[in-house]
């Protein structure tokens, strides 16, 4: 009888944190891929709809139909989602790798978009993430993620200037 060695506690913590990223998400399954959608994090950047309109069609129910494209095509388009509202798991193939180095983008009148190996403190606990849109107006009801509260409140913010003036 063989026993599985105990999981390294750091690896187990990392897996728990990765599960947090999809814990509130709805799953859509097709052969080869499972897509997770967290409605509360979607900011309607529409990368998915433009990337694979036959898979991501807001006029259909369910609106995500991953079986209408290859698993690899679905994964490639999901990786474009800046907010992290979409995630995927391939039946065969690697998990999504974080961008290196971490990238930070300030969206005018919107969130701070992050891509990389992220560890985010959320009310439910620490979560491991590869993409996220964080609030910068302090009005969100989905802390720390942006929920477009700034736009609803009419507040504005510009992307920082690249000039050192």
Mean pLDDT on 11-34: 78
Contacts of 122 (CB under 8 A, 6+ apart): 20, 143, 144, 145
Average model confidence (pLDDT) across the chain:
87
CA 97 to centroid of chain Cα atoms: 12
In angstroms, what CA-CA distances link 65 with 37, 62, 103?
A: 12, 7, 30
Which pLDDT score is estimated for 8? 59
What confidence tier does 3 reach under pLDDT thresholds 50, 70, 90? very low
What confidence tier does 9 reach under pLDDT thresholds 50, 70, 90? low
**Residue 91 or 15, more confident:** 91
Domain ranges of the chain: 19-153
- Name the pTM for this structure: 0.83
Which pLDDT score is estimated for 24? 79
Give residue-wise pLDDT tens across range 38-86: 999 999 999 999 999 999 999 999 999 999 999 999 999 999 999 999 9
């Amino acid at each position: 009888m063989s026993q599985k060695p105990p999981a390294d506690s750091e690896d187990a913590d990392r897996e728990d944190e990765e599960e947090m990223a999809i814990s509130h998400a709805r799953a859509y399954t097709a052969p080869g891929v499972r897509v997770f959608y967290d409605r509360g994090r979607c900011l309607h950047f529409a990368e998915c709809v433009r990337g694979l309109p036959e898979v991501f069609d807001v006029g259909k129910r369910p609106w995500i139909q991953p079986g209408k494209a290859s698993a690899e095509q679905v994964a490639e388009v999901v990786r474009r989602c800046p907010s992290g509202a979409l995630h995927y798991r391939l039946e065969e193939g690697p998990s999504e790798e974080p961008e290196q180095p971490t990238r930070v983008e300030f969206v005018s009148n919107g969130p701070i978009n992050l891509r990389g190996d992220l560890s985010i403190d959320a009310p439910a606990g620490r979560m491991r993430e590869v993409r996220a849109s964080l609030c910068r107006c302090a009005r969100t009801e989905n802390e720390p993620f942006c929920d477009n509260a700034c736009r609803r409140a009419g507040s504005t913010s510009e992307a920082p200037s690249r000039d050192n003036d």
